[in-house]
A and B are shown apart, each in its own frame.
Chain A
């Protein structure tokens, strides 16, 4: 066996993959082999490092060098300079945005300092397509411990004691769910992993499946042991090809090792996993809709009860948990419930993975202990708002959640605090907005999404959300009235109270929370017909300041609809009726004569 002196870890997550990290990996491998170093240097692809903003990421061990934005062409320099001569390639190191210094070691990057990676423990550290690397990191030890040393009831007790709550958004106690399913009497039961991640801008589950698929497989087997199921199903959306690929590889490897299949570890316990593909409908993240979709029916929810734990897949007791929830399970068994319960806040234990997106410097995947404040997440880990703009709000919980504002910045993030602030944990999407974002448009964006994704089964969701959208659209067009805001509020409450499933019950949340937190902006839109961020184009008016206009005709020549008139060297005027508010004149004017009102 080759004794490697150096390991080169190349991020193989979807983000970096899209920036040609696969070509980079090939280049590194080829050049390393050309130089005769293939016995000394191991080059592997890992899961997501989380620092997607600066991808592709390459990490070199043992000196822990963290290279960012590495292109396939940089491979030669890395091999020749770093691997052979031991000199770090400075231009590829991360530059601290504050003091402009090169930081070579990821431990000293603000992005990683506050993080605690439990669910992401192996992401960016192991090769997800190699079961050996997972095993060397205590992989399948938890399953073995459960099967040989613990009764199902003991495992359930341990899960309950750990305080782990569903990471898909609901926040229901995982141990309790397992207990209920275990008590349902049936010849066949099922374990289902919900990998139907549908929030716009969320990629937590995808990254876990891509970076550490075995942790989910192991946890599903543990769950099967607890509830008495020997079949597992992963419901994954077909538009996650890389995650599907890695998951398939992992399942096959586990079967080869006898860690899935009949008589696992000689204990007589049998468990196997299959994949079911979803077509990417948001509502299929709801567990009853998900189950119907797996059965080959339309992805529509049904009334609960009966809960899936009593009657689920083909009317058999079914335990549905989210990817991230499962990823926490092996660690809890290995390290103990007390260890896990020691992290986080009183009612929310452990950590939470968030996908940071929007107007933030460090877009990426992070994992922090529950109870971390929004300020820490946005400013310390996220590196603050892009281009030094002012923070305005952050949307948590995706289209089902609400927005949090400056006054919530110091609220510790956990399930209950977020609910109390009018938002929710959701699956962990965090979209950051700055002063240039209009909150009415933001609510409209999410409603547009829900209208599109509503399955249409119940009227409040199908019709109500459409009306909400129309009213919001009217307001952004400058045609709204005070009454419209009241209608929005009333309709929202009706939908929340009467919709069939979680999708409809939560879809008005973005509307309600923006009305609560940004009342002034709504009023400005309807009474002053003004949008302070300038995002609602219909509410803008462009003018030319006669003081500054020199009559250069640049604006008139560039206006696509010929709305600007004026003689050469004379003052120009914009015809408001023709103007389409494209902003071309503002961009072209060199004399600051064009302004928006």
Chain B
């Protein structure tokens, strides 16, 4: 990178660089953002979870939605892979099954943006240790 010649230059560089750091900035306040967990165990990856995860990361960026996308282990719904758990700020997590990139697009547009549920929700059918 060349010399910084003016304030405008500096701001331009900063903007370019912020994308690289946004991941860290955002993780300081996960509760206030959309949190997406993609199940990335063998079954998930085999069914294309990696592409779905990449899709989420890129699309949130493009559509200017503040979100954190993380990977997680197998959720147990191997029949419905790829599975994705989405937590909107202040809401209970919702798990979606059979998520391909098309479905992911649907989820972003309908659920993340407007809170509308889309098909393929897997109801919570277990209790966690924390709740016991």
Residues in A lying within 8 Å of B, measured CB to CB: 1, 3-7, 9, 61-64, 84-87, 107, 125-126, 132-133, 135-141, 144-145, 147-148, 256-259, 265-266
Binds A, one of B12-20, B97-105, B115-123: B12-20
The distance in angstroms between the C-alpha atoms of A136 and B1, with both chains bound, is 14
Q: Are A257 and B72 in contact (CB under 8 A)?
A: no
The distance in angstroms between the C-alpha atoms of A258 and B73, with both chains bound, is 47
Among B4-57, those with CB < 8 Å from A are 4-7, 9-11, 13-14, 17-18, 20-21, 23-24, 26-28, 30, 37, 39-41, 53, 57
Q: Are A141 and B24 in contact (CB under 8 A)?
A: no
Q: Are B21 and A5 in contact (CB under 8 A)?
A: no
CB distance from B5 to the nearest CB of A (A): 5
Q: Are B17 and A133 in contact (CB under 8 A)?
A: yes
Which A residues lie within 8 Å of B73 (CB)? 85-87
CB distance from A41 to the nearest CB of B (A): 11
> Knowing A62-B70, A63-B70, A136-B21 touch, does A266 contact B53 (C-beta < 8 A)?
no
Q: CB of B86 within 8 A of chain A? A: no
26 contacts between A and B (CB under 8 A): A5-B69, A9-B24, A62-B23, A62-B27, A63-B30, A64-B28, A85-B41, A85-B73, A86-B73, A87-B72, A87-B73, A132-B1, A133-B20, A135-B17, A136-B14, A136-B18, A138-B14, A140-B10, A141-B10, A144-B10, A145-B7, A147-B7, A148-B6, A148-B7, A258-B3, A265-B7
Q: Are A258 and B5 in contact (CB under 8 A)?
A: yes
Residue in B closest to A267 when the chains form the complex, CB atoms: B6
Residue in A closest to B71 when the chains form the complex, CB atoms: A86
Which B residues lie within 8 Å of A132 (CB)? 1, 13, 17, 20
Residue in A closest to B44 when the chains form the complex, CB atoms: A86
CB distance from A81 to the nearest CB of B (A): 9
Q: A5-B57, A135-B13, A256-B3 provided; 20 other pairs, C-beta below 8 A?
A: A3-B58, A5-B23, A61-B27, A62-B30, A62-B70, A63-B30, A64-B28, A86-B40, A86-B41, A86-B72, A107-B28, A126-B21, A133-B17, A135-B17, A136-B21, A140-B10, A144-B10, A258-B5, A265-B4, A265-B7
Query: Interface range on chain B: under 10, 10 to 19, 20 to 34, or 35 or more?
Result: 20 to 34
CB distance from A134 to the nearest CB of B (A): 9
Q: CB of B95 within 8 A of chain A? A: no
CB distance from B123 to the nearest CB of A (A): 22
Contact with A along B65-91 (1 / 0, CB 8 A): 000111111000000000000000000
Residue in A closest to B15 when the chains form the complex, CB atoms: A136
Q: Are B1 and A62 in contact (CB under 8 A)?
A: no
Q: Are B23 and A4 in contact (CB under 8 A)?
A: yes
Q: Are B21 and A265 in contact (CB under 8 A)?
A: no
Q: Are A125 and B24 in contact (CB under 8 A)?
A: yes
